[in-house]
Structure 1
Amino acid sequence: MSWKDEIAHLRKRQALAHNMGGAEKLARQKAAGRLNVRERLDLLLDPGSFREIGSLTGKARTNAEGGFEGFSPANCIFGRGTVRGRPVAVVADDFTVRGGAADAAIVEKQIEAEKMAGELGLPLIRLIEGTGGGGSVKSILDMGASYVPFNPAWDQVVANLERVPVVSLALGPVAGLGAARAVSSHYCVMVKGQSQMFIAGPPVVAGVGEHVSKEELGGSDLQLAAGAADDAYASEADAMEAARWFLSYLPDMAGDAADRTPPSDDPARIDESLREIVPRDKRFGYDMRAILNTTLDEGSVFEMGRHFGSSVITALARLDGWPVAVLASNPNVYGGGWTAEAAQKILRFVDLAETFRLPVVHFVDVPGFVIGTRAERAGTIRHGARALSAIYQASVPWCTMLIRKAYGVAGAAMMDHTRFRYRYAWPSGDWGSLPLEGGVEAAFKSVLATAEDPEALKEELRTRMRDLSDPFKTAERFWIEEIIDPADTRPLLTEFANLTAKLRTRDKPGTRYRP
């Protein structure tokens, strides 16, 4: 006895599922310049590695006699595959079936995809296009009643942020729960001019009197500036390559150590040009990214979130092959001062480092919080205090390089000072409670008010304070642990990465990740 007929029927159903939403919908997807879901899986994963789960999920059509007539697949596809030989879980929306809406999906597929990643310790990649939520109001007609809203799989979405690396790629219009899934990840990527992300789309927004296009409402430029998306790329291929690069710095699951790549850059390499990169005039900025590129392994700097909180740089990189999390001030934006947005960016990035046990290297040039009415309206001090709390809650190894300024509460956030202070300063170091440029007026206000020549007294006080602010006087008291030749920065950082390699794993959960 053979099961040949049943196996043939199985293959027929699977072949029909590969037709997705049908020729017309596929043509419309192509005309919009977007890949279909099967093409995306082929592009993302190693050739032939995708193992689909739920390939028969959908709705069969039968004729009057009850015979099989056709098949419409669910619009959620998931399974496992490999990325550069590394096993991953992947879940993808099929926009050609009811625009990716959940009322055309089998909700258990999304749930199982999240569970598979979390329980098997597999990095999770979400390819999102559509609402991913409760569908349209037409659902009420199909169900015969309305329902109290709930978010399918949300317990698993939240849990996975602390279990495995999660990457979301928004590859077309993404609304509602789909947008919430996109941002509830460690790295969220969009495609320029092709993907948009919003709470509700233009037709719904029109109901409150605002008439805008999809791009105006939630295009990549807007979402990058808002910090909802981390990066945007020119094509789906580029976005997927960024996802692969991001994952290469992280372990398969929280608690494990991320892989070290074979070192390709001399750990003892020095760069004498660093001795001249910081201007003597503190009013001028310099290229912090140039410092990162020459002190970290060549070609390893992967910056994220460049367009949000731009006074701070966040990146993943390598030191002698070891992955590290990099925080750096950007003196060319607000002088490196912390804004509310920068503080939010720091908090989330420190949580990422803590979740996956990445040692942090912090390049500091912070004049303090950005001040003024706009900063106060943005709640900068509260956001700043939250970022400071994240730094003090972190237990990962931490090395600070004081490049120039460190003033006030934000300057003190260079590290948790109660831990071992693995810290170096360049000779350009300049620190204190307030910069001299405004601090003298504040500290000596009453004295200056009664002086015969306030300007002369002000200059005299500044001169005395500048003498006392010499970083070598700080070093004499061991208030800074070591002042170094800037050219020696890389050898010291690679030493830190190797010395802390044994601290990259953990047995118990750390601080909860906050998306």
Structure 2
Amino acid sequence: MTWQPEIDELRRRSAMVEKMGGPEKIKRQHDAGRLTVRERLNLLLDEGSFHEIGALAGRAEYDENGELVELRPSNTVFGRGKLEGRPVIVSGDDFTVRGGAADASIKAKQIMAEQMANELRLPLIRLIEGTGGGGSVKTLEVDGRTYLPANPAWEWVVDNMSQVPVVSLALGPVAGLGAARAVASHYSLMIKDQSQLFVAGPPVVARTGEAVDKEGLGGSSIHTRNGAIDDEVADEEEAFARTRQFLSYLPASVFELAARSPCDDPVERRDNWLIDAVPRDNRKVYKMRKIIDSVVDAGSFIEIGKYYGRSAITGLARLDGWPVALLAGDPYFFGAGWTADASNKVTRFVDLADTFHLPVVHLVDNPGFVIGTDAEKAATIRHGARTLSAIYQTNVPWCSVIIRRVFGVAGAGHTNASRLKYRYAWPSSDWGSLPIEGGIEAAYKSDLEASDDPEALHQEIIERLNHVRSPFRTAEAFLVEEVIDPRDTRPLLCEFANLAAPLREPGRRSYGLRP
């Protein structure tokens, strides 16, 4: 007696599932320039490592004799695999089966993917296309009833934000619940000219009187600029490469620590050009990213959220092989002042670092919160206060290197002042409650108004104050710990990374992380 007939049936059903939505739907997917979910899994994961779970789940059709005629698979494909040799959980939407809509889904698969990542403490990668398990009005005819809305697996989605790294890739049109799943992650990507993200698509929006196409409603140029999505890439292959790169900096879960990578970039490397990196004229800008690339391990910096909150630069890097979270100011935008968007960007980034125990390196250039009517209308101070709270709540080691300006409430938030100030200052540093150039008008208002030559008096005051604004005067009072040669920055940061590594402590934070 043998079970071979059942094994043959297993193979037959597996072959049906492999066809996905059928040749016509697969061709339509390819004609749109998009890969199928199974092609994506093959490209993303280490070769031969994918172990699918629930492959036979779907809608079956039987003949009058009870024999299986057709098995249309569920439009969620998930399982375990390896990424650069590390175990991960991957869940992908199959757009060839009803465009990812709920009437072709089995929500238990989506739920299990989230739960498996949580309970096995493994990174989760979501390949999202369509509604991601969200609703379709066709379910009303199929089920013969309507239902109260629910968000499947959302309890796991929420908890995973505080427990395991989550990457969401929006690989085509993404709406409703799929859009919510895309942004409820630690790192998210869209494909330029291929991905769109919206709460509801153009046909639904048209009912409100607005006529717009998918790209105009929710293209990557919109959502990577408003902070909903972190980054845009040129194609799916680049999205998978960025996913591998991002996860390489993080532990599998908060219960582990990020691993050190081999490093052949000398710790003692001192780039001579750094001494000229910051112009003496503080009205002139400079390239902070060039400084970042100079002080971290060669080629290790991956920027996150480049097109949103652009006065702040955030990303991951390595120092002597150790992963760190890197925060910096970009003087090309608002003089590096923090806008409401920049504040929210920094808050989320600091929370990411704290969640996964990454030491923070802050290259500081912050003239304060952006001012003016637009800034007040944007509630900049409220968003900024949240950022300061995040900085003061974090427990990871923190090192600040003051590159240029530190002014006002936002500038004061370059570090948690109640902790050990592991801090260096470049000779180009300039700090205070207000910049001299703007503060004179307020502090010397009555003198200037009474003067017969206010312009000459203004210049005289500037010259007097310039004598005392040198960082060396501040160092004399030990109000800044060290003024350094900019060329020594990399060796000192590598020392910090090595001192910080044994201080990292695995485990969950006392408070959860929200998207």
Shorter-chain TM band: over 0.9
> 1:308-362 CA deviation, whole Å, 9 max, x = no partner?
0111110100000000000000011111111111001000000100000000000
The residue number in structure 2 matching 1:355 is 355
Amino acid at match of 1:390: A
Contact 1:354 1:511 in 2 (8 A): no
CA–CA distance in structure 1, aligned partners of residues 508 and 376 of structure 2: 38
| Residues in 2 aligned to 1:84 and 1:150: alpha-carbon distance in whole angstroms | 36
Residue of structure 2 equivalent to 1:17: 17
User: SS of the counterpart of 1:500?
Assistant: helix
Identity, % of aligned positions: 60
**CA shift for structure 1 position 511:** 3.8
2:334: which partner in 1?
Answer: 334
- What corresponds to 1:60 in structure 2? 60
Question: CA separation in 2, counterparts of 1:278 and 1:203?
Answer: 52
Deviation of 1:508 after TM superposition, in Å, equals 4.5
Deviation of 1:395 (Å): 0.6
Rounded Cα–Cα distance in structure 2 between residues aligned with 1:87 and 1:119: 13
**1:450-473: CA deviations, max 9, x gaps?**
233322322222222111111101
Which whole-Å CA distance do the structure 2 matches of 1:374 and 1:282 have between them? 24
Find the aligned partners of 2:43 and 2:243 in 1 and give their Cα distance.
12
In the alignment, the residues of structure 1 paired with residue 230 and residue 35 of structure 2 have an alpha-carbon distance, to the nearest angstrom, of 22
* C-alpha displacement of 1:241: 0.3
Asked if 2 retains the 8 angstrom alpha-carbon contact of 1:355 and 1:511, the reply is no
Structure 1: 4+ residue segments shifted above 6 A: none
SS at match of 2:224: helix
Contact 2:124–2:165 (Cα < 8 Å) also in 1: yes
Distance 1:393 1:382 in 2: 17
- SS of 1:174's partner is strand
Q: Deviations over 1:234-276 (max 9, x none)?
A: 1100111000000000000013110100111101111111101
Tell me which residue corresponds to 1:380: 380
Write the distance in 2 (CA, Å) between the matches of 1:71 and 1:478: 74
Paired residue total: 515
Matched, 1:280 2:290: no
Question: Could you list the runs of 5+ residues in structure 2 that have no partner in the other structure?
Answer: none
Q: Secondary structure at the match of 2:150?
A: coil
1:486 maps to amino acid: P
Moved more, 442-451 or 3-12: 442-451
Aligned pairs for 1:53-202 (under 5 A) are 53-202=53-202
Q: Given residue 148 of structure 1, which amino acid in structure 2 is its aligned partner?
A: L
Q: Deviations over 1:362-406 (max 9, x none)?
A: 001111111111111111111111111101111100000000100
- What is the deviation of 1:6? 0.6
Q: What TM-score comes out, normalization by structure 1 length?
A: 0.99
CA contact (8 A) 2:163 2:508 kept: no
Q: Which residue of 2 aligns with 1:305?
A: 305
Deviates more, 1:61-70 or 1:236-245: 61-70
Conservation of the 8 A alpha-carbon contact between 1:354 and 1:510: no
Is 2:219 the partner of 1:247? no
Task: Measure, in 1, the Cα distance between the counterparts of 2:426 and 2:347.
Answer: 26
Partner Cα separation in structure 1 for residue 284 and residue 118 of structure 2: 48
CA contact (8 A) 2:107 2:133 kept: no
Deviation, 1:510, is 4.0
Residue in 2 that maps onto 1:442: 442
Structure 1 distance, partners of 2:15, 2:505, is: 44
Hey, what's the Cα distance between the residues in 1 that align with 2:134 and 2:459? 67
- The 10-residue stretch of structure 1 (68-77 or 450-459) with the greater mean CA deviation from structure 2: 450-459
SS of aligned partner of 1:251: coil
2:134–2:178 Cα contact (<8 Å) kept: no
Structure 2: distance between partners of 1:514 and 1:75:
28
Q: Does 1:225 align with 2:216?
A: no
The structural deviation recorded for 1:512 is 2.1
Question: Does the 8 Å contact 2:424/2:483 carry over to 1?
Answer: yes
* Aligned-partner residue type, residue 336 of structure 2: G
- The separation in 1 between residues aligned to 2:227 and 2:376, in whole angstroms, is 19
Q: 1:417-465: per-residue Cα shift (whole Å, max 9, x none)?
A: 1000000000011000000111011012122222333223222222221
Q: Is the 8 A contact 2:338 2:366 kept in 1?
A: yes
Point out where structure 1 has 5 or more consecutive residues left out of the alignment.
none
Q: Is the 8 A contact 1:131 1:179 kept in 2?
A: yes
Write the distance in 2 (CA, Å) between the matches of 1:503 and 1:106.
44
Partners of 1:389 and 1:410 in 2: how far apart?
11
**RMSD value over aligned CA atoms?**
1.0
Distance 1:461 1:299 in 2: 46
Distance 2:489 2:46 in 1: 38
Q: Does the 8 A contact of 2:162 with 2:508 survive in 1?
A: no
Offset, 1:77:
0.6
Output one character per residue of 1:31-62: Cα deviation in whole Å (capped at 9) or x when no partner.
11100011010000111100001011001111
Q: TM-score, length-normalised on structure 2?
A: 0.99
Residue 413 (str. 1) matches residue 413 (str. 2): yes
